[in-house]
Amino acid sequence: DAKLKEAVDTALAGEGVEGVVVSDRNGLCLASVGETRGLNAATVFSLSKRGGQLFGESSSSVTIDGDNAAYVIQSFDNVVIGVVKSH
């Protein structure tokens, strides 16, 4: 779908972005582009869900920061997007 492609392209254009993973609300992969460093749709979905449970919210943002890269995971209405950024 054109909206999904546009969202992925926009995310990939961000500074330091290496890869993007998009999951639906069931954890199924809608897109996976670039270097994802092992990040997959099921993990993106699960981390987003757990983050939301911590705060009692249906949508959340989770950041995992490592030595060489960071995962930024954000949920929206119907999808969850995971972005891999290098440091």
| Segment 6-39, tens digit of pLDDT | 999 999 999 999 999 999 989 999 999 999 999 9
pLDDT of residue 57: 80
What lies within 8 Å, CB to CB, of 60 at 6+ separation is 48, 51, 52, 54, 74, 75
C-alpha distances in Å from residue 57, one per residue of 49, 60, 73, 75:
9, 7, 15, 11
Residue 59 predicted with pLDDT over 80: no
pTM of the model: 0.90
Residue 58 predicted with pLDDT over 80: no
Nearest to 47 by CA among 71, 69, 68, 31: 71
Residue 64 predicted with pLDDT over 80: yes
| Segment 38-56, tens digit of pLDDT | 999 999 999 999 988 888 8
